[in-house]
Structure 1
Amino acid sequence: MSAARTKRIVLAAGGTGGHMFPAQALAAELLQRGYRPVLITDKRGGGFGPELSDQVETYRIAAAGFAGGDIMAKVKSLLSLGIGYLQARRLLKRLQPEAVVGFGGYAALPTVMAAAHRHLRVILHEQNAVLGRTNRLLASKADIVATSFPEVRGLREADRDKAVLTGNPVRGQIAALGRKPYAVANAHGHLRLLVTGGSQGARVFNDLVPRAVALLPEPLRRRLMISQQVRGTDLEAVRQAYQGTHVQVELQSFFEDLPDRLKSAHLVICRSGASTVTELSTAGRPAILVPYPFAADDHQTANAQAFAKGGGGWVMPQSTLTPEALAERLNEVLSDTATLTGAANAARAFGQPDSAARLADLVTGVHRTNGDEKGHGHANGNRNGKEAAA
């Protein structure tokens, strides 16, 4: 058995796919390098699915969100987090990991806090352009804060020297798209538009997109092929809204083959969660981004603005978005092949296609600089050279 194979790396993640997908991608990379990734998640966590379930030890501990709710709800949440902390502390004592990687969200909080108190090496990964609440709380206890965007708001000045840009690791299916060229639309061929709302859903698109499409010039409408994810119970209503537009439309509440649809899309209309923006940049697909207005700390707006600043798309805030404004933007973008292609190239340039490898380098103590690899300052042993306390 190799020396690396005996080394465990604990991944603390749970909740939405935005936290779990990068953890899963890192686990796959670590397995390839001969390490033993271990997932510690909350009791509602689904794990990494069938692809990695036989290869990754998974443990579930107590955890709960503490934002919002009345005083009794907060007390219950704190008690749950306290129990999770004790469970995580016992697990870490038994597992003796080389490092603990936290991916944000309340499910990661007990494990990362316990790791810091045991003087283990701690790496935080932030998926958004605004540091999440859990990572803000834990940043002072971390050795490294791995970021997905060149600029991240919410990081204290004292912790800025810990920040290292790695990008946001994505699943293998999405990473493979980045190795395929953008399918440039010809002047008279089909234009494929993908409309998706992500995990938060986007019922606003159910009404807005069909009305905007109806306002487009008829020659452009006849070229359109639309795949739209329809959340809620509005499937038939949206189907009716497209009648008479001369547009080829496929509507589903969930696309099992989303990577394939993203591969063939010329333009995407979507929210701007971390996973969505990462997948767009990895695949090199231009997008009209409508940030979810109620996201914590308005992080979706920050994500969208960063992507648009890089030239990969256009931000249209929901509060001011009308069918007329969306139709104008669609007409402008879809009528100009050079605009679409330029945005696709910019989206791809914005991404970090080797983000899983970059993050794994940090976690295992290898740091890349200008293509070279060197040992990272925290590579070996526990943090600050201290032995783990019981």
Structure 2
Amino acid sequence: MKVIIAGGGTGGHLFPGIAMAEFLSKKGVEFLFLVSDRGIDREILTKYGCVFYEQQIIPFKGKGFIQKMKSIYKIFLASLKISKFIRKDDKVLLLGGFAAVPAGVVSIFKGCDLYLHEQNAVMGVANRFLAKFAKKVFLSFDNTKNVAGRCIVVGNPVRKEFKDFRVKHIFNKHIFVTGGSQGSRIINNVICDAASKLLEMGYSVIHQTGTKLYDETIKRYRENGIYNDERIKIYPFIVDMAEKFKWADIVISRSGAGSVFEILYSKRIGIFVPLKIAADNHQYFNALYVKEKGAGEIILEDEFNPDGLIEMIKKVENEKESYLKALVRIEFKDSAKLICEELLSA
């Protein structure tokens, strides 16, 4: 028996799987990742030494009719190809995203034990369908919308380096910016345009731009005349995120489930800019979970500009003790252990 971990296309879908793979490795359980052929999957999983197979598939949701037909065709082909990797006695865990669908299809036809982890605060269409066939559906959020299947709230698995963070009571005016593994043009541009004011306010910035957006972001910093300032460090992609979270006082981020839980568990104040076009507006509801706990703030894309960001940072700085008290109350859940023990005990 081995565990098939299927999903990918973004770091947010992959990193929970990596947390579970770390647990399975300690137990001596074989696992295999089935992921997309986007370069980000290969880059992350290679770094962590995980065994994986890349599937040639494309997203379905939000596409036109022709693209949807292409997506269905590629899912069919991918299902045929990965069938050789999945045996009837294997456990199949779907992490969400289009890269998880072929494994879900194969597991249903082969009668494998199927499990889902719904990472976001709104369950997607594919997961609602596949949940009907799943032995268990694991939820990150206790208020997840549109849930289906036999659900249990376990939180969102994070890598082991996020387990032992403490609230940072000394405010050093450090801001870490990340638009996720793919990067975010709107976040990059607003940070570039707000950077000179942030420096005047005494802040230092570490900025992950996303690999594809790195060159254009560097160009914008240069146009603003602050590229060579040593208080701003710019990277295309950061693997050792935990170290940057330790450094940070404030994290400016998209609000995929992985990012939300890494920020919560690192006990850092989050300013979230939800992706406007995210399916079912799930990024907004992910961020709302943090805001309602008093541990962070939300700026909608349509309201996200340099002046608005500066005002929000001033608010966070002035009210930092309130956010820190809320973060002290956040309890870490060893979600990877909870999920894997459920799989292995069945």
The TM-score bracket by the shorter chain reads 0.7 to 0.9
Corresponding residue for residue 360 of structure 1: 340
The answer for the alignment partner of 1:197 in structure 2 is 179
State how far apart, in whole Å, the 1-side matches of 2:299 and 2:65 are.
Answer: 37
Render the CA deviation track for 1:279-301: whole Å, top value 9, x for unaligned.
Answer: 10121111111111111221110
Contact 1:195 1:228 in 2 (8 A): yes
Contact 2:94 2:117 in 1 (8 A): yes
Deviations 1:78-130 (A, max 9, x none): 222222223344433xx343421111122221211221222221100111111
Say whether the 8 Å CA contact 1:8–1:96 is kept in structure 2.
Answer: no
Q: State the partner residue of 2:249.
A: 266
RMSD between aligned alpha carbons?
2.8
The offset of 1:64, in angstroms, is: 3.5
Whether 1:278 and 2:258 are equivalent positions in the alignment is: no
Of 102, 119, 124, which aligns to 2:111?
A: 119
The alpha-carbon distance between structure 1 residues 204 and 77, as it changes in their structure 2 partners (threshold 3 A), is closer
Match of 1:30 among 24, 39, 45: 24
What TM-score, normalized by structure 2, do the two folds share? Answer: 0.86
Give the residue type in structure 2 aligned to 1:314: E
Q: Deviations over 1:150-206 (max 9, x none)?
A: 1111224xx3xx111111112233x2xx313233225xxx32111221124222234
Q: Which runs of 5+ in 1 are unaligned?
A: 1-6, 366-378, 380-390
Offset of residue 71 of structure 1: 4.0
Structure 1 length normalisation: TM-score?
0.77
Cα distance in 2 for partners of 1:328, 1:61 equals: 44
- Shift of the 60–252 alpha-carbon distance from structure 1 to 2, 3 Å rule, reads closer
1:19 aligns with 2:23: no
Q: 1:168 aligned to 2:153?
A: no
Cα pair 1:28 1:52 within 8 Å, conserved: no
Q: Which residue of 2 aligns with 1:4?
A: none
Does 1:180 find its partner at 2:165? yes
Residue pairs, 1:151-300, within 5 angstroms? 151-156=143-148, 159=149, 162-173=150-161, 175=162, 178-185=163-170, 190-209=172-191, 211-212=193-194, 221-222=201-202, 224-230=203-209, 231-232=213-214, 233-239=216-222, 241=224, 243=226, 248-300=231-283
* Counterpart check, 1:128 vs 2:110: no
Residue 317 of structure 1 corresponds to 300
Q: Is the 8 A contact 1:85 1:113 kept in 2?
A: yes
Q: Percent identity?
A: 29
Query: Given that residues 296 and 323 in structure 2 are in contact (C-alpha distance below 8 angstroms), is that contact kept between their aligned partners in structure 1?
Result: no
Q: Distance in 1 between matches of 2:67 and 2:99?
A: 17
How far did residue 212 of structure 1 move?
4.7
Look at both structures and tell me which one has the larger radius of gyration over its CA atoms. 1
In structure 2, the residue corresponding to 1:49 is in which secondary structure? helix
Count residues in correspondence: 338
Q: Secondary structure at the match of 1:39?
A: strand
Question: Following TM superposition, by how much is the alpha carbon of 1:313 offset from its aligned partner in structure 2, in angstroms?
Answer: 0.3
Which residues of structure 2 form unaligned runs of 5+? none
Structure 2 distance, partners of 1:43, 1:357, is 28
